[in-house]
Amino acid sequence: MSPAVPGPRRAPTRGKRAFAATWWGQAWVAALEDSTLDAGRLARGRTYARKGMVGSVTIAPGQVKAAVQGSRPRPYRSSVHLPVLTDPQWDTLLDTIAARAGHLAALLDGEMPTELVDDARQAGVPFLPQPTELDPECSCPDWGHPCKHAAALCYAIAATIDADPFVLFALRGRGREEVFARLRALRAAAQETAAAPVPAGIPAAVAYAHWAEEPPELPELPEPAAHTTALPVAPPPGSGLAAADLERLMADAAARAARLIAGDTTDLHLTQHQDAVRISASDPGPEWFHLLIQNTGANPTAFARLTRAWRHGGPTGLTVAEQPHTPDPTVMKATRTALEAALAEMTDSPTHLRAWRNRLTLTHHGVQLRLGPDARWYPYLQDDDGEWWPVAPADSDPVTALTAAWSQNGE
Indicate whether 183 and 132 sit together in one domain.
yes
Select from 192, 211, 226 the last residue of a domain.
192
Residues in the chain: 411
Q: How far apart are the first and last CA of the chain?
A: 103
- Rounded Cα distance between 142 and 119, Å, is 39
35-62, pLDDT tens digit by residue?
Answer: 776 788 888 998 999 899 999 999 999 9
How much of the chain, in percent, has pLDDT values that exceed 90? 26
Query: Cβ distance 143 to 40 under 8 Å?
Result: no
* C-alpha triplet 108, 134, 131: angle, nearest 5°: 90
80-133, pLDDT tens digit by residue?
Answer: 999 999 998 888 888 888 887 777 778 877 788 888 888 888 888 888 888 888
180-208, pLDDT tens digit by residue?
Answer: 888 888 877 776 665 556 666 777 777 77
9 domain-assigned: no
Q: Compute, in degrees rounded to 10, the torsion defined by CA atoms 145, 147, 150, 156.
A: 110
Query: Cβ distance 381 to 409 under 8 Å?
Result: yes
228 domain-assigned: no
Indicate whether 253 and 178 sit together in one domain.
no
129 domain-assigned: yes
Distances (CA, A) of 133 to 31, 82, 127, 215: 8, 6, 11, 65
349 domain-assigned: yes
Q: How many CB atoms lie within 10 A of CB 312?
A: 21
Indicate whether 124 and 60 sit together in one domain.
yes
Where the chain has pLDDT below 70, the residues are: 1-18, 37, 191-200, 212, 218-219, 221-229, 349-350, 409-411
> What's the mean pLDDT when you consider all of the chain?
82
Domain count, the chain: 3
Quote the domain boundaries for residue 89: 16-192
The predicted pLDDT at position 227 comes to 52
Alpha helices in 262-369 (DSSP H): 272-281, 286-296, 300-322, 329-346
